[in-house]
Structure 1
Amino acid sequence: MAGNVPKSRGMFQYVFKHLMDSFKVGKREKVGTIIGRDPYGNIYYELPAQPQLGKRRPTRWYSAAEATNDAKNKEVWTGFDSDLPSEWESWLRFRRNEAPTEEEVMQSLALAELKKLNAAKLEEKRRTEMQAAGIDSGPPKPQDHEKTPYPKYANYEVMPGESENETKDKWKKYKNPYMKE
């Protein structure tokens, strides 16, 4: 009868030991190994998994190419808005096990440039067809639900701290460089 008794004391010791080991953060490595770099200048690091300290998965992160400050000298979080190739982002989020090669990243960036170029050609073709048919080829007019319900005055700011010139340039980075304006 004594042989069928569950070993509950051993289970509690096991759980308590692993709980205490998970608090031993100081034993974990502090410096990661450099895994790779991307064309934007970001550097990617990895710490291997250490199951004895409660870390079952490796730790992955990157350091951005450079810190940026905005016009008001407010510090912007470094790397928060930096450019990341999709291959490296999938590696950081554990969607892929192996780090991407430089050839993969460059091929992906070249494909993105080709798509931008093709999109610009299609848009130009659409504009010429619309102009030949006598249709306005400009951007669509705002509909009633898109119009602002309050008046705008030239001597007042729409967004606090932003001038009208800053809001026009805000989307410049995201526009297709091959499009004619």
Structure 2
Amino acid sequence: MSNNGRPIIRILIQNFLNSFRPRQIKGDYKGEDYLGNKFYEIKADPSRGKRKTSRWYEPPGKPELDYGHELTAEWESWLRGRRQDPPTQEELLKNLAIMQMKKKNAAALEGKYEKSQDHASIKHDVATGRAAFPRYDEEYEIMPGSKPIKQKD
């Protein structure tokens, strides 16, 4: 038997050992979000058998095994392939401003309802010990432009 063929066992062992090494792949830097995450991409190359684009991100600080990092919705959709182009900085800042405005409005509404809520009007169910659903004073118009009718319990 001649040993002119490929040493299959040696190739299998070498591939197995290489699978334990961390990847040393360099991708194209695509951008960064306001949370500090950096995003990278390697384009598909069908001539080398790579049919799908690879996208990933590096969280700020030391990379840990904790995958609870926050991502913006725009970058997450790019990572998952739902959008072709990465988001622009203007788009990220616009959506951040909208998000902060919504938080501010929600806090104002919550403060308004806390002030107007009559705690005595919340009835407790004696059997379960739970509070019933709170009721707020609301006014509804039957016909547009007519005088609102006060809701009664």
TM-score, normalized by the shorter chain, greater than 0.5: yes
1:9-30 CA distance string (max 9 Å, x none): xxxxxxxxxxxxxxxxxxxx92
Instruction: Tell me the distance in 2 between the aligned counterparts of 1:135 and 1:109.
Output: 39
1:33 aligns with 2:28: yes
1:65 aligns with 2:65: no
Q: Pairwise mapping of residues 50-129 of structure 1 onto structure 2 (< 5 A)? A: 50-67=45-62, 76-78=64-66, 80-129=67-116
Q: State the TM-score, normalized to the length of structure 2.
A: 0.60
In structure 2, the gaps of 5 or more residues are 1-23, 131-153
Instruction: Tell me the distance in 2 between the aligned counterparts of 1:64 and 1:55.
Output: 26
Which amino acid counterpart does residue 135 of structure 1 have in structure 2?
S
In structure 1, the gaps of 5 or more residues are 1-28, 69-75, 147-181
Shift of 1:117: 0.6
Q: State the TM-score, normalized to the length of structure 1.
A: 0.51
Aligned residues: 104
Counterpart position of 2:38: 43
DSSP-derived class of the 1:109 partner: helix
1:51-89 CA distance string (max 9 Å, x none): 122222210000000238xxxxxxx515x1112110000
Shift of 1:134: 3.6
Counterpart position of 2:121: 135
Larger relative helix fraction: 1
Larger Rg: 2
Of structures 1 and 2, the one with the larger relative CO (CA 8 A, separation 6+) is 1
Larger relative strand fraction: 2
Identical amino acids, percent of aligned pairs: 38
Which amino acid counterpart does residue 55 of structure 2 have in structure 1?
R
Shift of 1:114: 0.7
Counterpart position of 2:137: none
Instruction: Tell me the distance in 2 between the aligned counterparts of 1:67 and 1:123.
Output: 38
Root mean square deviation of aligned Cα = 2.8
Which amino acid counterpart does residue 100 of structure 1 have in structure 2?
P
Q: Hey, which bits of structure 1, 4+ residues long, moved more than 3 A?
A: 133-136
Instruction: Tell me the distance in 2 between the aligned counterparts of 1:36 and 1:121.
Output: 35
